C-alpha cells in the first residue's frame, strides 16, 4: 500500500493512479490531469491526508496517527531479510562465476569438492544437514547430496537473467565443467545408448548435452590410447610402480535379449589387480591427465597398439612335458610344514590358556575365530583395472596364449623382476597348463597359473565331500542344527 503520492506541477502525468477509481464520479480518471486540482480533490475526499511541498514535487501523506497504524502493519524485518538474502546470493554468485573448472577425467570426492566454491558448499551443507559451526566446512562432512546440489547450481547458473520467452535449454559453460553432470550423462549413455534420455536429462539441468558427452568419451579414449602408445605397452595407469600385480582372464558374456540376441557379446576380458597400502599420488596416473583436453567434433577413437590387438594363431599343443613331481624325501621334509605347525600350536596354546577363564565373545576359541582375529581390521585399498575387451572367446588356445602375453608385458612394465601371475577358472586352467607344458616361454619357472578364489573353494569342497561321503558327518551337523555363515 502506497503511503504517499508524488506528482509534478508541469508534467501533469499521473504515474500512480491509486485509489483514484474511487473518485471516478467526482473526478473522472484521464490520461492527463492538472496536479494542483488533483491534490485539492484528494485532500477534500481522503480524510487525514496532508500535503507537503518539497521543491517542484508534492508529497501526500497521512497524519501521525494514521501513519503509526500503517507502520504497525508494515514488517520491517521481512524487508531486512530480503536485502540480506539478496546480498548473500550476489556474493555467492560472484564466487561461482570466479571459479574456473575444467574436466580432468576424475569423479572422486576430492575432485568434486575442488570444483565448487567453499562458501557455496558451506551454505548448502547448512541447508541440508543443519548449521554446524565446528566442522561444517570440513571435507569429510561434505556429503554427496551437498556436492550434487552445488554442482548443479554451478552448471545451471547464468550471469544475466534469462528472458521469459527464451527456450529453457541449459548451456554448460566451458570453464565450469562439473564432474557430476558429466558423470550422469556418461552413465546413462553407457547403460542405454539412448540420445533422447541424455538430452532429456540435459533439459532438466541434470546432465551435459549428448554432443558434449560424445566429445568427452572420445577424448578420454584417445587420451588413454596415447598413453599406451607412449609407454609402448597396454598397462593401466592406475597400477603403481614396484607393487605386486595379479592378472585374471575369463569369458565375458553379455546378452541383453535372450530371445533375439540383439547386441550380444561373447569375448574375453583381462584384468589386473594390486593390493597395496600406498595412498600417495600415483605419478603414472598424474602424467595421464597432464595434457588431457576435450576435443570437439571428434567421434572416433584411435586404434590400440597392434601388439595388443593382434592375436597370433595357435593349434592345440601336442608335445607336452609335465614337470616332475616332488621326490619322496622332499615330501617328507619336516621343514616344509614348520610354519603350519607353528600356527596350529599358537591356536592350541590360546585355547589352553582360556580353559580356566570365563568365556565371552572376545575369547575366539574356535580355529576360525582365532585366525580371523589375527587379520587386520582395516581393509587395504586395492587397485582394479580392466583392459579393453577382445572379441575372441577365451576358450581358444590362441586367445589364452595372448592373455599370457598381455599379462606378462604389463607386469614386467609396472613391476620389473616379478614372476607373472594369472588366475582363471577350472576349464581355462586346464588349457593354460597344456600351453605351459609345451612352451618354455611360459613354463612354471616363468609363469604362475592359479585357480581363482571361487574355484579353489569349490574344488576343496568337492574333495572334502568325497572324503566324508558315507561317514555320517552331514547327518551329525544336521542334527546338531549347526550352521556356518560367512559374509561375502
pLDDT in tens, 435-449: 999 988 999 889 999
- The pLDDT score that the predictor gives to residue 488 is 41
What does pTM read for this prediction? 0.64
pLDDT at 255 over 80: no
- Max CA distance (Å), the chain: 128
* Mean model confidence pLDDT for the chain: 79
- pLDDT band, very low/low/confident/very high, at 2 (cuts 50, 70, 90): very low
Q: Which residues contact 341 (CB under 8 A, 6 or more apart)?
A: none
Spatial distance between the Cα atoms of 333 and 328, rounded to a whole number of angstroms: 9
User: 134 or 272, which is more confident?
Assistant: 272
Percent of the chain residues past pLDDT 70, beyond the cut: 74
- Return the closest-CA partner of residue 183 out of 146, 157, 158, 220: 220
The answer to whether the CB of 215 falls within 8 A of the CB of 298 is yes
pLDDT at 394 over 80: yes
* 191-215 mean pLDDT: 90
- The pLDDT score that the predictor gives to residue 11 is 41
Q: What's the chain's length in residues?
A: 488
The answer to whether the CB of 393 falls within 8 A of the CB of 378 is no
* 7-23 mean pLDDT: 43
Element spanning 62, H or E: strand 57-62
Grid cell locating 2: 502506497
- The pLDDT score that the predictor gives to residue 337 is 66
Spatial distance between the Cα atoms of 267 and 388, rounded to a whole number of angstroms: 11
Most confident of the following: 81-85, 86-90, 222-226, 409-413:
409-413
- The pLDDT score that the predictor gives to residue 57 is 74
- The pLDDT score that the predictor gives to residue 64 is 65
State whether the Cα torsion 460-461-466-470 is positive or negative: positive
* 26-34 mean pLDDT: 56
pLDDT at 416 over 90: yes
pLDDT at 185 over 80: yes
- pLDDT band, very low/low/confident/very high, at 71 (cuts 50, 70, 90): low
Task: Give the three-state DSSP class for 299.
Answer: coil
* 155-165 mean pLDDT: 75
User: 393 or 477, which is more confident?
Assistant: 393
- The pLDDT score that the predictor gives to residue 6 is 42
- Indicate the DSSP class of residue 32: B
Q: Which residues contact 17 (CB under 8 A, 6 or more apart)?
A: 29
Residue whose entry in the numeric block shows the C-alpha cell 486540482: 37
Q: Which residues contact 18 (CB under 8 A, 6 or more apart)?
A: 2, 5
- pLDDT band, very low/low/confident/very high, at 338 (cuts 50, 70, 90): confident
Q: What angle do helix axes 210-231 and 195-203 make, rounded to 10 degrees?
A: 120
User: 154 or 328, which is more confident?
Assistant: 154
- The pLDDT score that the predictor gives to residue 486 is 47
Spatial distance between the Cα atoms of 200 and 471, rounded to a whole number of angstroms: 65
Spatial distance between the Cα atoms of 235 and 282, rounded to a whole number of angstroms: 14
Grid cell locating 288: 595421464
* 381-403 mean pLDDT: 91
Spatial distance between the Cα atoms of 241 and 226, rounded to a whole number of angstroms: 19
pLDDT at 379 over 70: no
Amino acid at each position: 500500500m502506497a503511503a504517499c503520492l508524488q506528482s509534478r506541477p508541469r508534467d501533469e502525468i499521473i504515474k500512480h493512479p491509486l485509489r483514484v477509481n474511487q473518485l471516478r464520479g467526482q473526478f473522472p480518471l484521464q490520461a492527463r490531469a492538472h496536479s494542483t486540482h488533483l491534490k485539492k480533490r484528494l485532500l477534500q475526499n481522503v480524510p487525514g491526508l496532508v500535503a507537503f511541498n518539497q521543491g517542484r514535487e508534492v508529497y501526500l501523506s497521512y497524519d501521525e496517527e494514521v501513519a503509526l497504524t500503517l507502520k504497525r502493519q508494515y514488517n520491517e524485518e521481512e524487508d531486512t531479510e530480503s536485502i540480506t538474502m539478496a546480498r548473500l546470493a550476489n556474493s555467492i554468485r560472484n564466487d561461482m562465476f570466479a571459479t574456473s573448472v575444467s574436466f580432468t577425467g576424475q569423479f572422486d570426492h576430492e575432485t568434486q569438492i575442488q570444483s565448487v566454491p567453499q562458501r557455496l558448499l558451506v551454505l548448502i551443507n547448512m541447508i541440508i544437514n543443519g548449521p554446524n559451526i565446528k566442522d561444517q566446512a570440513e571435507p569429510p562432512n561434505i556429503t554427496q547430496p551437498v556436492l550434487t546440489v552445488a554442482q548443479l547450481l554451478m552448471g545451471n547458473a547464468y550471469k544475466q537473467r534469462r528472458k521469459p520467452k527464451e527456450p529453457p535449454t541449459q548451456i554448460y559453460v566451458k570453464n565450469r565443467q562439473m564432474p557430476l553432470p558429466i558423470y550422469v550423462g556418461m552413465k546413462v549413455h553407457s547403460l542405454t545408448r539412448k540420445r533422447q534420455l541424455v538430452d532429456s536429462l540435459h533439459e532438466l539441468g541434470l546432465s551435459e548435452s549428448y554432443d558434449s558427452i560424445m566429445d568427452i568419451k572420445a577424448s578420454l579414449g584417445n587420451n588413454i590410447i596415447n598413453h599406451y602408445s607412449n609407454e609402448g605397452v597396454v598397462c593401466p595407469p592406475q597400477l603403481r610402480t614396484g607393487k605386486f600385480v595379479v592378472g585374471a582372464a575369463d569369458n565375458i558374456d553379455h546378452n541383453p535379449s535372450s530371445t533375439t540376441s540383439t547386441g550380444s557379446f561373447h569375448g574375453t576380458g583381462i584384468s589386473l589387480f594390486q593390493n597395496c597400502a600406498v595412498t600417495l599420488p600415483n605419478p603414472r596416473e598424474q602424467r595421464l591427465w597432464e595434457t588431457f583436453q576435450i576435443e570437439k567434433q571428434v567421434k572416433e577413437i584411435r586404434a590400440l597398439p597392434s601388439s595388443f590387438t593382434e592375436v597370433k594363431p595357435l593349434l592345440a599343443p601336442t608335445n607336452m612335458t609335465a614337470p616332475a613331481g616332488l621326490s619322496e624325501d622332499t615330501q617328507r621334509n619336516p621343514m616344509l610344514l614348520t610354519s603350519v605347525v607353528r600356527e596350529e600350536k599358537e591356536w592350541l596354546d590360546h585355547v589352553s590358556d582360556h580353559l580356566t577363564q570365563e568365556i565371552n565373545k572376545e575369547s575366539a576359541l574356535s580355529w576360525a575365530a582365532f585366525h580371523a582375529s589375527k587379520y587386520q581390521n582395516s581393509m587395504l585399498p586395492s587397485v582394479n583395472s580392466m583392459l579393453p575387451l577382445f572379441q575372441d572367446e577365451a576358450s581358444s588356445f590362441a586367445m589364452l596364449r595372448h592373455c599370457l602375453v598381455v599379462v606378462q608385458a604389463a607386469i614386467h612394465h609396472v613391476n620389473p623382476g616379478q614372476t607373472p601371475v594369472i588366475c582363471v577358472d577350472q576349464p581355462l586352467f586346464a588349457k593354460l597348463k597344456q600351453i605351459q607344458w609345451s612352451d618354455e616361454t611360459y613354463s612354471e619357472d616363468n609363469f604362475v597359473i592359479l585357480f581363482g578364489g571361487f574355484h579353489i573353494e569349490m574344488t576343496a569342497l568337492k574333495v572334502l565331500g568325497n572324503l566324508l561321503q558315507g561317514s555320517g558327518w552331514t547327518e551329525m551337523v544336521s542334527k546338531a542344527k549347526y550352521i556356518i555363515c560367512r559374509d561375502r
